Structures are given as structure tokens and as C-alpha cells.
């Protein structure tokens, strides 16, 4: 619980003090120090929690069940599950994006890479199945998905997009783009 609030506070202000975090979480600053001895420990804990949630989302989307012979509808459904579940993680993704110092941590970097692997393999299989376009580098497909999902999250916080519509919009844009219907 503290970790989610900390993610939000640090997202809104990367230089927020621990007193700010404690106040936002409704606990004393001493308590915060008891659980996370240093500022860096707190930042790492928030980051690992965020990655934990991403891992869960990827698991729950059951991308691994989609084989190289899957029908396009299956791929679409799996992607939809993934996007739908990623969107609520917006504040945590925002935190990871806005704390570039964390990129220097080897363990976090390794975990991030680990998260991308199943996604890229999924894309690769979907391409062989003809459900995603061949020729697109899997890492780029994954990057695009993340980028569009994050853009949707931003639009939601800006009040431009209804949360219920977000996943469909991202999926549609990712799959068919914004070009003319041929």
C-alpha cells in the first residue's frame, strides 16, 4: 500500500522528500524509515514491486498459451488481456520511466529484460501464425505496445479517454494504425 502511494508521489515529483511520502501514506516518517532504511531502499522497493506487478500481468495474460498456429482472434484476445491489465499499472510505469537513476541498478535492468522476453517470443509466434505482420522486429512491436499503452494511460489521467475504452483503442491502433482503410 505504501509502495503504491510512494510510486504516485514520486511520479508527480521525482524530488519528493520522504516526509512527503510518509504524509501521503498517512504514516509517520519514522515508520517509513523502519520499513525502508534509506531513500534508495524505498525507491528500489517501489521499482521491484512495479516489476512484480508487470510480471503478474504478463502471466495472467496467458501469452504463452498462444502458439505459432494460433488464430488471429486468439492473438487479439491475448493482446487485449495484456493491455487491459497493464493500464491500471500506469502510475507504477510512470514511476519507472521517471526514475532514470534506477536504470543503473543491474538487478532491475536484468528483471526488465526478463519481462520483455516472453512478450517478444509471443510476437514472434504470432508472426509465424500470420496474426501479426512478419518483418516487424519483435522488440519494436513490444516497444510500440508499451508506448501506446502508456499514451492511453496519460490520456486517461488527462480526462480525454474513458478507462473502459482504452484497451480497445490501443489494440486497434497497434494492429491497424491510423492510416486509411485500404
Partner DNA sequence: TCGGGATTGAACACTCATGTTCAATAGCAT
Partner DNA sequence: ATGCTATTGAACATGAGTGTTCAATCCCGA
The residue among 33 and 81 lying less far from DNA, judged by its C-beta, is 33
Nearer to a second copy, 28 or 137 (CB): 137
Cα 30 from Cα 15, distance rounded (Å): 19
**Cβ closest to DNA, residue 31 vs residue 59:** 31
Rounded Cα–Cα distance for residues 38 and 59 (Å): 32
Q: Which partner, a second copy, DNA, none, binds residue 136 by CB below 5 to 8 Å per kind?
A: a second copy
For the bound state, the minimum distance from the C-beta of residue 27 to a second copy, rounded and expressed in Å, comes to 23
* Residue 36 in the binding site for a second copy (CB under 8 A): no
Residues in contact with DNA by the rule CB under 7 A: 17-19, 26-31, 33-35, 37-40
Which of 13, 55, 85, 92 binds a second copy (CB under 8 A)? It is 13
Of 31, 33, 44, 38, nearest to 3 by C-alpha is 44
Task: Judge contact between 101 and 39, C-beta under 8 A.
Answer: no
**CA dihedral (165, 171, 176, 179) positive or negative:** positive
* 67: partner contacted, choices a second copy, DNA, none (Cβ within 5-8 A by kind): none
Nearest CA to 136 among 113, 148, 120? Answer: 120
Q: Sort 140 into a burial class: Cβ within 10 Å, 0-12 / 13-18 / 19+.
A: exposed
| E-state strands within the chain | none
Provide the mask over 57-96, with x wherever binding to a second copy is found by CB under 8 A and - wherever it is not: ---------------x------------------------
In the complex with DNA, the residue whose CB is nearer, 23 or 155, is 23
98 binds a second copy (CB under 8 A): yes
Amino acid at each position: 500500500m505504501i509502495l503504491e502511494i510512494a510510486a504516485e508521489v514520486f511520479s508527480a515529483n521525482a524530488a519528493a522528500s520522504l516526509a512527503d511520502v510518509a504524509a501521503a501514506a498517512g504514516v509517520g516518517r519514522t515508520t517509513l524509515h523502519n520499513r525502508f532504511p534509506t531513500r534508495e531502499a524505498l525507491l528500489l522497493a517501489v521499482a521491484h514491486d512495479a516489476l512484480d506487478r508487470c510480471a503478474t500481468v504478463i502471466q495472467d495474460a496467458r501469452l504463452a498459451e498462444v502458439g505459432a498456429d494460433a488464430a488471429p482472434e486468439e492473438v487479439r484476445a491475448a493482446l487485449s488481456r495484456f493491455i487491459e491489465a497493464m493500464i491500471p499499472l500506469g502510475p507504477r510505469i510512470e514511476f519507472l520511466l521517471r526514475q532514470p537513476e534506477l536504470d543503473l541498478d543491474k538487478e532491475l535492468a536484468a528483471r526488465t529484460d526478463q519481462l520483455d522476453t516472453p512478450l517478444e517470443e509471443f510476437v514472434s509466434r504470432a508472426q509465424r501464425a500470420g496474426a501479426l505482420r512478419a518483418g516487424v522486429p519483435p522488440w519494436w512491436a513490444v516497444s510500440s505496445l508499451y508506448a501506446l499503452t502508456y499514451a492511453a494511460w496519460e490520456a486517461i489521467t488527462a480526462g480525454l479517454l474513458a478507462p473502459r475504452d482504452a484497451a480497445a483503442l490501443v489494440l486497434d491502433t497497434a494492429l491497424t494504425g491510423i492510416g486509411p482503410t485500404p
